C-alpha cells in the first residue's frame, strides 16, 4: 500500500513539473527580406516547433527551412537553393535562449508583459548570439510570445548576387509568434 501511494505521489509530482513546460508545433516565423526594388523576398513558416518553460524562462524554436512558403515559387527555389540557404544541407534553423527579465513576467496573471530575450540563433549551420525584446501575453492558461528582430545575412555565411544588387535585404526582419495552450 505504501509503495502504491509513493508511486501515485511521484506520478502527480512528475506530471505537475512536466506541465510547467509548454510546447507547440504550430508557431509561426515570418521572414521579410523585401526591398524597395523587389517585394517578393517574404516568406512564412507555420509549422515551427516551440517550447517555453515559465519556471526557468527558457525558450526554444526549431524551423524546417523548406517549410518557408513564398508567394513566388521561383523565390522559394532560390531561397532553398545551393546559392543561398542550401536547405538540403542545412535543414533546420534553431533558437535557444532565455527570458532575461523573467521576474517582470507574471505567468499566473493575465496581461501583456514586455520581455527581454537572449540566446543563440543557428541558421545555415552558423550560430550567433541574438538579443531582442518581445511580449509575453498571458490569457488564462494560454501563453503567447512574440518578438521581431533583424539579422545580417552575411553573419550566417549567406551571400548572393540578389543581395549584392539590392533585390534581397541584407538585414531581413524576422518575426516570431507562438501560442502555447
Q: Where are the domains of the chain?
A: 21-180
Q: Which fold has domain 21-180?
A: Lipocalin (2.40.128)
Question: Looking at residue 160, what is its pLDDT?
Answer: 87
Alpha-carbon distance of 24 to 47, in angstroms, equals 9
Q: Which residues of the chain have pLDDT under 70?
A: 1-19
Q: What is the DSSP letter of 88?
A: T
Among 134, 151, 152, smallest CA distance to 143 is for 134
User: Which pLDDT score, from 0 to 100, does residue 179 have?
Assistant: 98
User: What is this structure's pTM?
Assistant: 0.87
Number of CB atoms found within 10 A of residue 104's CB? 12
How high is the pLDDT of residue 20? Answer: 81
The predicted pLDDT at position 83 comes to 84
Close Cβ partners of 74 (under 8 Å, ≥ 6 residues apart): none
Predicted pLDDT at 162: 87
Amino acid at each position: 500500500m505504501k509503495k502504491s501511494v509513493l508511486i501515485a505521489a511521484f506520478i502527480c509530482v512528475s506530471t505537475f513539473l512536466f506541465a510547467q513546460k509548454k510546447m507547440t508545433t504550430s508557431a509561426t516565423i515570418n521572414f521579410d527580406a523585401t526591398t524597395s526594388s523587389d517585394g517578393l523576398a517574404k516568406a512564412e513558416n507555420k509549422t515551427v516547433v516551440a517550447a517555453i518553460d515559465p519556471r526557468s524562462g527558457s525558450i526554444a524554436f526549431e524551423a524546417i527551412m523548406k517549410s518557408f512558403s513564398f508567394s513566388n515559387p521561383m523565390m522559394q527555389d532560390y531561397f532553398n537553393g545551393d546559392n543561398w540557404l542550401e536547405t538540403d544541407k542545412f535543414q533546420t534553423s534553431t533558437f535557444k535562449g532565455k527570458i532575461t527579465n523573467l521576474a517582470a513576467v507574471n505567468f499566473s496573471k493575465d496581461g501583456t508583459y514586455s520581455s527581454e530575450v537572449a540566446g543563440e540563433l543557428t541558421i545555415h549551420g552558423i550560430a550567433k548570439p541574438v538579443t531582442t525584446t518581445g511580449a509575453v501575453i498571458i490569457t488564462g492558461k494560454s501563453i503567447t510570445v512574440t518578438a521581431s528582430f533583424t539579422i545580417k545575412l552575411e553573419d550566417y555565411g549567406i551571400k548572393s548576387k540578389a543581395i549584392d544588387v539590392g533585390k534581397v535585404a541584407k538585414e531581413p526582419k524576422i518575426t516570431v509568434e507562438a501560442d502555447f495552450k
